[in-house]
C-alpha cells in the first residue's frame, strides 16, 4: 500500500531471508507454527489505520452503549455459558475488516467482530521478527503499534489487562489441551512476556468456591482466568468440565465465554455503519414457503454464516434452496445471510496482487477501549483461511507496519 516500501521489499526479497526469519520466529515461540506465515509484512498509511480504528470504536460503542441491544444480546447466551462472576464489559475485542478500493482511496468492510482474545503475544514477536530480518522501524517512520503505543507501552498495557493486581502465578491462560492448539505459539509468548502460563481446563482443581492448578508441582490458587476456551469447541466435542460456569466461583474472568455470544456475528445486523455489508438473520429472509425472498435471488451475492462458529467454520457461499431448507426452522435465528464483499487485491507481490484482511485488536483499559495492534491475513482464495489458500505463496498471517500519524 505504501508503494515505495512495497517495491523496495519485493525487489530485495530472497527466499533465504524468509527462511531465516521463520527460523528465528519459531525459536522465539518455542514450538512449531502450524499456520502459514506470509513472506512479507504489509505497509499501510497511518490515515488508513486511523480510519479502521475509528470505525472499530464507533461500532463497538454503538453496541455496548445501546441498552436495548445489550438486552437482546444477553438473551442469546446459552444457559451453560452464563458466567456467574462475568466481566461487566469484555476485556478483549477483535474487529475484522476486508480492504476494498472505493474510487481513489482504500477503506474497510466489516467481516466480523468478536469479544474474544486474539494473538496478543504472537503478533508482537511476528512483527519483531520482520523488523529484525528486514531492518524495518523508526528510520522508515514505521510502527507496528496503534494509538501512539510503543513496545514498552503496549507490554505495560497488556500486563495491566492480564494481571490486574495479581501475581502472574495466580493468573492462568485456560484452554482445551493447549499444546495441541494451533495457537500454542501465542500461549508460549504470553508466558514469556507476561508470566501467564497456559493450562488445560481439565487440570483445574475445584475446592468449594476456589480453583487451583499445579504449578511446578505446587498446588497454586487461580485468582484470574485468561479464557481461551472457545464455546464452539466445547459444544462440538461434548466436553464436560471440572466446574460449571454458572457456579459462584471466587475467580476473575478475562475473555469470559458469555461475551463470546454477546459480541459476535449476532451483532452485525444491529450495527448501522456504511462499512457494514447488508446482513440479515436467516429467519427474517425466509418466506412462508421456506424459500429465500426475492431480494436474495442472486445467490452469488450472499454468504450463509452460523452465528457462533469460529475461524470461518460452516460458511456457505451462494446457499441453495436445498441448503436453506436443510436448516430446521428453530435453528434459523442462529444464522445470518450476509452480502458478499469482493475484497480488492491491494498488496502487490511477485505472485500477483493479493487481498488483505485486517483485524483491529482492542483492549479495555479501565473504562476505555484502546486499539493496540493490527493483525493481517493475506490471501488470493475465496476466504483468508488456510484451507482457501493452499499451495499459494505470499499469503497467510502477516504483520502490519504503519506510518505514524
Predicted structure pTM score = 0.94
Query: Across all residues in the chain, what is the average pLDDT?
Result: 93
Nearest by Cα to 110 from 97, 93, 120: 97
- 20, burial (CB in 10 Å: exposed 0-12, middle 13-18, buried 19+): middle
pLDDT at 387 (0 to 100)? 57
Query: Strands across the sheet with 171-175, in order?
Result: 197-200, 171-175, 224-227, 252-254
183, 220, 332 from 170: Cα distances, Å: 22, 7, 42
Q: Which residues pair with 358 in a beta bridge?
A: 97, 376
SS3 386: helix
Domains plus CATH for the chain? Answer: 3-264+342-403 (no CATH), 278-339 (3.30.1490)
| pLDDT score, position 312 | 59
- CB contact burial 195-218 (16+ within 10 A = b; e otherwise): ebbbbebeebeeeeeebebeeeee
Task: Give strand pairing partners of 252.
Answer: 224
Output the DSSP codes for 201-235: GGG-EEETTEEEEEETTEEEEE-EEEE---HHHHH
> Rounded to the nearest 5 degrees, what angle is found at the Cα of 206, between the Cα atoms of 202 and 212?
80
**H/E segment holding residue 365:** strand 355-365
Q: What pLDDT was estimated at residue 102? A: 86
Residue 186 phi/psi, 5-degree rounding, is: -65, -40
CA-nearest of 115, 257, 55 to 176 is: 257
Tens digits of pLDDT across the chain (405 residues) = 789 999 999 999 999 999 999 999 999 999 999 999 999 999 999 999 999 999 999 999 999 999 999 999 999 999 999 999 999 999 999 999 999 998 889 999 999 999 999 999 999 999 999 999 988 866 678 999 999 999 999 999 999 999 999 999 999 999 999 999 999 999 999 999 999 999 999 999 999 999 999 999 999 999 999 999 999 899 888 888 999 999 999 999 999 999 999 999 999 999 999 999 999 999 999 988 878 888 999 999 999 999 877 655 688 999 998 999 889 889 999 999 999 988 999 999 999 999 999 999 999 998 899 999 999 999 987 666 555 567 789 999 999 999 876
How far is it, in rounded angstroms, from Cα 150 to Cα 143? 8
DSSP 8-class letter at 403: E
Per-residue DSSP letter, 140: G
Give the per-residue pLDDT at 135. 83
Sign of CA dihedral 383, 94, 60, 42: negative
Amino acid at each position: 500500500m505504501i508503494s515505495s516500501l512495497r517495491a523496495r521489499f519485493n525487489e530485495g526479497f530472497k527466499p533465504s531471508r524468509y527462511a531465516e526469519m521463520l527460523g528465528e520466529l519459531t525459536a522465539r515461540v518455542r514450538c512449531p507454527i502450524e499456520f502459514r506465515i506470509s513472506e512479507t509484512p504489509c505497509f499501510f498509511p497511518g490515515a488508513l489505520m486511523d480510519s479502521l480504528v475509528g470505525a472499530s470504536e464507533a461500532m463497538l460503542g454503538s453496541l455496548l452503549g445501546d441498552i436495548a441491544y445489550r438486552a437482546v444480546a444477553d438473551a442469546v447466551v446459552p444457559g451453560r455459558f452464563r458466567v456467574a462472576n462475568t466481566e461487566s464489559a469484555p476485556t478483549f475485542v477483535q474487529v475484522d475488516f476486508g480492504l476494498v478500493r472505493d474510487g481513489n482511496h482504500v477503506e474497510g468492510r466489516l467481516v466480523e467482530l468478536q469479544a474474544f482474545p486474539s494473538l496478543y503475544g504472537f503478533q508482537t514477536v511476528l512483527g519483531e521478527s520482520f523488523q529484525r530480518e528486514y531492518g524495518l522501524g523508526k528510520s522508515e517512520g514505521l510502527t507496528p503499534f496503534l494509538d501512539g503505543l510503543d513496545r514498552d507501552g503496549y507490554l505495560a498495557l497488556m500486563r495491566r489487562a492480564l494481571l490486574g493486581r495479581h501475581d502472574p502465578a495466580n493468573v492462568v491462560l485456560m484452554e482445551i489441551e493447549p499444546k495441541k492448539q494451533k495457537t500454542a505459539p501465542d500461549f508460549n509468548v504470553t508466558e514469556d512476556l507476561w508470566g501467564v502460563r497456559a493450562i488445560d481446563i481439565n487440570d483445574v482443581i475445584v475446592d468449594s468456591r476456589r480453583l487451583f492448578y499445579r504449578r511446578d508441582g505446587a498446588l497454586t490458587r487461580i485468582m484470574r482466568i485468561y479464557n481461551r476456551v472457545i464455546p464452539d469447541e466445547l459444544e462440538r466435542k461434548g466436553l464436560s468440565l471440572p466446574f460449571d460456569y454458572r457456579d459462584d466461583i471466587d475467580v476473575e474472568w478475562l475473555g469470559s465465554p458469555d461475551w463470546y455470544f454477546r459480541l459476535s456475528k449476532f451483532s452485525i445486523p444491529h450495527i448501522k455503519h456504511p462499512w457494514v455489508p447488508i446482513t440479515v438473520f436467516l429467519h427474517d429472509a425466509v418466506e412462508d414457503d421456506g424459500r429465500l425472498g426475492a431480494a436474495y435471488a442472486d445467490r452469488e451475492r450472499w454468504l450463509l454464516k452460523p452465528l457462533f462458529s469460529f475461524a470461518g467454520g460452516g460458511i456457505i457461499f451462494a446457499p441453495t434452496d436445498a441448503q436453506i431448507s436443510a436448516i430446521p426452522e428453530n435453528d434459523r435465528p442462529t444464522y445470518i445471510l450476509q452480502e458478499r464483499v469482493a475484497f480488492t487485491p491491494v498488496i502487490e507481490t511477485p505472485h500477483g496482487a493479493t487481498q488483505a484482511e485486517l483485524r483491529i485488536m482492542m483492549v479495555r483499559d479501565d473504562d476505555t477501549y484502546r486499539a493496540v495492534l493490527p493483525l493481517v491475513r493475506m490471501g488470493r482464495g475465496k476466504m483468508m483461511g488456510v484451507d482457501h489458500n493452499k499451495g499459494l505463496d505470499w499469503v497467510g498471517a502477516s504483520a502490519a507496519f504503519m506510518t505514524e500519524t
